[in-house]
Amino acid sequence: MEQTLKAFVAQLPTATLVKVYGKVTKVIGMTVESSGPLASLGDICLIYGQRSQCRAEVIGFREGNLVLVPLGELGDIGPGADVLALHTRLTVNCGAGLLGRIVDGLGQPMDGLGPIRDVVAREIEQLPIDPLRRRRIEHAVQTGVRVIDGLLTVGNGQRVGIFAGSGVGKSTLLSMIARGTAADVNVIALVGERGREVREFIERDLGEEGLKRSVVVVATSDQPALIRLKAAFVATAIAEHFRDEGLHVNFMMDSVTRFAMAQREVGLAAGEPPTARGYTPSVFAAMPKLLERTGPGETGSITAFYTVLVDGDDMNDPIADTVRGILDGHIVLSRKLANAGHFPAVDVLSSVSRLFSTVADKRHQSAAQLARTWLSRFRDVEDLLRIGAYRSGSDVDTDMAIAKVPEVNALLTQGTDDLTDMSSTIETLGQITGV
């Protein structure tokens, strides 16, 4: 009894004995202004309506009032509604209990399988690992996709962007990587996806086997901007937890562009001025904070694939240009190849893995470089071949490229279920090139 009393007395100096409420003064669009209570940027508050309540996050201050963005529907919130500061940040449950589960943008289960067990809470906002504490990337990781494993080899802990317009095969490529990867765990973030596509991706593309070792975080396009925004941080925090456990995590996010659009909505609501193509400065500040959190750690690693929806196939779009400058490589999908039935529609000559020379051996590098040379030469004379203007024998190297490119393309195309071991891909590439 005495020990219990002492413990109670010890907590009194830091205990909150009085609840201080603020009052809703204004609702404009997706923001709520509140006169009080005392709260810090990023704190979670509770807004009480007549019959329901809603959580909201403090995103700014205006003339002494809090500017809040709701984490859900406002419902029956009215003027003078009570606002209580919880003085906490958003957290997500992480652990082995998440494997095979589908959660919403705030980490709550949405698959009807009951509560998630064997988990621990972790704040979704984390600082990236100190760069001097990261291990170097020295080993390749298998994706099962021959064009990536053969010519754009990815390292264990590398971060790669997949750039494409709409309908060119980004989601399908992600599903192939999820099923063919040699990683221990997949963490998949579907940010701003169409509601129709979520179930299709999980059941048709990912499949039962892929889901067993995956965690899927879903925030569809109809969700509030803040939930779409937080979904990316929730998924990243889950991946970080598995990495800190010493596992190799395969992280996939579709898409960074919709994350940026959600941040733009929040930034505009907070009063930020629009800059490049309407994006606010906070968009370009938030992207490195998110993208730098993946990669190698002290024990485990996160190999990350981020899709970028390029508007009108414009690779110089501000978001595409920013992401390309942060990540360790980019894979460009070509609408021309997709229209020709070449899947995955990867434009090898426009794509690059910045760590290819580090993770691939000399024989592999030589074979890949020769295959690239053939593809480049063939592209130079492709139009001439179609109109019959190229004469065989004009150039020995070009003749070799014309003869070999069909074999190279046969290697680089594959069905969604035709996943291949990396060793087999490299061996076949060596046989085609004779290296």
pLDDT (0 to 100) of residue 280: 95
Cβ proximity of 210 and 187 under 8 Å: no
Range 100-114 burial, b when 16+ CB lie within 10 A, else e: ebbbbbbbebeeeee
Helix (H) or strand (E) holding 193: strand 185-193
**22/77: higher pLDDT:** 22
Chain segment 9-62, per-residue pLDDT in tens: 676 566 565 788 999 999 988 899 999 899 999 999 999 988 889 999 999 999
Cβ proximity of 210 and 181 under 8 Å: no
pLDDT (0 to 100) of residue 250: 96
Assigned token pair, 267: 């930034």
Chain segment 99-125, per-residue pLDDT in tens: 999 999 999 999 999 999 989 999 999
Mean pLDDT value across the chain: 91
| pLDDT at position 322 over 90 | yes
* DSSP codes, 328-384: SEEEEB-HHHHHTT-SS-B-GGG-EETTHHHHS-HHHHHHHHHHHHHHHHHHHHHHH
Chain segment 380-435, per-residue pLDDT in tens: 999 888 888 888 888 899 999 999 999 999 999 999 889 999 999 999 999 999 98
Chain segment 331-340, per-residue pLDDT in tens: 999 999 999 9
Cβ proximity of 346 and 135 under 8 Å: no
DSSP bridge pairs for 364: none
| pLDDT at position 357 over 80 | yes
The residue to which tokens 């470089």 are assigned: 369
Output DSSP code: residue 100: T
pLDDT (0 to 100) of residue 352: 96
Identify the sign of the CA torsion 273, 277, 282, 285: negative
pLDDT bin (cut points 50, 70, 90) of residue 214 is very high
Q: Percent of the chain having pLDDT more than 90?
A: 72
